[in-house]
Structure 1
Amino acid sequence: MSDCTKCGEYMFFPERHTCSPKWEVIDADECGENDWKTIHALDGEDAAAKYAEQRDDRNGEGPRERTVIVREPGASDEKRFSITFEYSVDYSAQEQS
């Protein structure tokens, strides 16, 4: 078991793996027309969420909202998705004997 070299998804059963469709994505506020990235995802909404997760390289210090534009590869029709996210730190305790 390993990650697919094309789409990056973890393959539970490599012999039955099929990559998700490709989508072109871009951050509406921080990127230019030449910055489109390709994401493998089930649909446009999933592509927008995956892209936002990949762009969050600030370990919780980045923006809490993002607008992502998604289109099919080479298409002119675009969809805009508002992405909101929050960071969480969870603690748990266990009594020591």
Structure 2
Amino acid sequence: MMQPTGRNCHYQLVAVREIGKIKRDARLWNGAYLDIFIYTNEDILNINNSFLRLLSAIVLQKCDRTENLLLAKVEALYASTQQHSQPRKLNCDI
């Protein structure tokens, strides 16, 4: 999955593999800054707010349904954080 940031000069890439440690690699490539995060299938079972960077991401290569499930989780996480960040309306009769 890829999320462009700024003026298409910085790309965040996410890869999911079966086993291994979480890894991050960042470097310049062909005039663009690539920032890649590599997770395992187990790492993406319970996501946290750091995954919100994937909001509006696009899938570059489909391997199975993992990428769709991950993006659905990100959307749900975003929706839940928006509900909590909305000011509460108080029903006050004056």
Relative to the length of structure 1, the TM-score reads 0.27
Higher helix share: 2
Relative to the length of structure 2, the TM-score reads 0.28
Q: Which has the higher contact order (CA 8 A, sep 6+)?
A: 2
